[in-house]
Amino acid sequence: MARRKKIYEGKAKVLYEGPEPGTFVQYFKDDATAFNAEKKDVIEGKGVLNNRLSEFFMIGLETIGVPTHFLKRINMREQLIRQVEIIPLEVIVRNYAAGTMSKRLGLEEGTRLPRPIVEFCYKDDSLGDPLVAEEHIIAFNWATQQDLDDMVALALRVNDFMSGLMYGVGIRLVDFKIEIGRLWDNDFQRLVVADEISPDSCRLWDIETGQKLDKDVFRRDLGSLSDAYTEVARRLGVLPSNATHMPKPTLIN
Ligand code: 5GP
């Protein structure tokens, strides 16, 4: 069998050429990194959980009419996605202050924001993904004003969907990051949610106890990352098909 062509390898995922034109296979690794890859580890099973969780969120978004790059799950670690042109921006939505916003503005983590706030960071590891203003985005041609308006609208819809979903299982969606891609249909472009949505890219706190159930567990050495992600998956009813769910083998006579 011919080896698959690797298109791109990032910190947590690998993209391979897909079986049909216009598709990629997205492979979820177990690698965890933080602080621009200064802190690294391998968390067994993280890739499997994030593959399932991202699938779950993307299918839900599609169901309510938010377009995504997701096509179907292939196996425990891989999903088939549409090939999109990634806009080089991280779109962050915040409902409560935390992380870099708390540091930048001196706000206590957990402070409720007056409304969801959308921020853009320029995707460039060598610069540490700096926060940028809409002025930079338009002046440097990373996106148009129309794209920006569409990106904000898309990000806020994702926020409403994810906040409600998480609230239903006793989790507060503090903030999250998405990436958005352009999907071309001749000269017509559509913006779709791309990359992944998982506890790697969200802040998720238990509503009752405040316990962190996201990548901050790894960033801040707060315990087992796989236990935290498994808890999110369990509450949402999304768990990888594992031994506990496998039917018993039957004897073939
Ligand atoms: P902060 O700016 O506070 O570090 O992050 C805000 C939110 O965006 C958090 O939920 C964080 O997980 C997510 N985020 C920001 N940058 C990245 C990134 O480079 N990769 C991932 N996976 N998530 C990020």
Mean of pLDDT values over 197-209 = 98
pLDDT at position 223 over 80 = yes
pLDDT at position 52 over 90 = yes
- Cα of 90 from ligand 1 centre, angstroms: 8
Instruction: Name 219's Cβ contacts closer than 8 Å, sequence gap at least 6.
Output: 34, 35, 39
- Cα of 216 from ligand 1 centre, angstroms: 10
Q: Which atom of ligand 1 is nearest to the CA of 102?
A: 3
Domains 6-84+226-236 and 85-206 fall in the same CATH topology:
no
- Cα of 83 from ligand 1 centre, angstroms: 23
H/E segment holding residue 38? none
Instruction: Name 243's Cβ contacts closer than 8 Å, sequence gap at least 6.
Output: none
Name, of 2-6, 34-38, 124-128, the range with top average pLDDT. 124-128
Q: Which atom of ligand 1 is nearest to the CA of 121?
A: 16
- Cα of 43 from ligand 1 centre, angstroms: 18
Ligand 1: lining residues by beta carbon, under 6 Å = 90, 92, 98-101, 129, 175-177, 200-203, 215
Q: Which CATH number fits domain 85-206: 3.30.450.20, 3.30.1490.20, 3.30.470.20, 3.40.50.150?
A: 3.30.470.20
Which protein residue's CA is at the shortest distance from atom 2 of ligand 1?
100
Mean of pLDDT values over 136-144 = 98
Mean of pLDDT values over 43-51 = 97
Order across the sheet with 23-28: list the strands. Answer: 6-9, 13-17, 23-28, 78-82, 70-73
Mean of pLDDT values over 18-44 = 95
Check residues 239 and 207 and name the one with the higher pLDDT.
Answer: 207
Identify which of 137, 182, 171, 158 has the alpha carbon closest to the alpha carbon of residue 94. 158
So where are the chain's domains?
6-84+226-236, 85-206
Confidence of residue 245 (pLDDT cuts 50, 70, 90): very low
- Cα of 158 from ligand 1 centre, angstroms: 15
- Cα of 238 from ligand 1 centre, angstroms: 23
Which protein residue's CA is at the shortest distance from atom 20 of ligand 1?
201
Among 177, 205, 212, 229, name the best residue to mutate to test ligand 1's pocket (greatest count of ligand atoms within 8 A of Cβ). 177
Instruction: Match 């990051």 to its residue by tokens.
Output: 177
Which protein residue's CA is at the shortest distance from atom 22 of ligand 1?
201
Confidence of residue 75 (pLDDT cuts 50, 70, 90): very high
pLDDT at position 108 over 70 = yes
Which protein residue's CA is at the shortest distance from atom 16 of ligand 1?
177
Query: Which pLDDT score, from 0 to 100, does residue 246 have?
Result: 45
Confidence of residue 3 (pLDDT cuts 50, 70, 90): confident
pLDDT tens digits for range 161-193: 999 999 999 999 999 999 999 999 888 999 999
Question: Which architecture characterizes domain 6-84+226-236 according to CATH?
Answer: 2-Layer Sandwich (3.30)
Query: Which pLDDT score, from 0 to 100, does residue 112 have?
Result: 98
pLDDT at position 70 over 60 = yes
pLDDT at position 103 over 70 = yes
* % the chain with pLDDT above 70: 94
Among 92, 101, 174, name the best residue to mutate to test ligand 1's pocket (greatest count of ligand atoms within 8 A of Cβ). 92
| Helix extents (H) in the chain | 46-63, 99-105, 134-139, 145-167, 216-219, 225-236
pLDDT at position 243 over 80 = no
Q: Are 141 and 132 in contact (CB under 8 A)?
A: no
Query: Which pLDDT score, from 0 to 100, does residue 251 have?
Result: 67
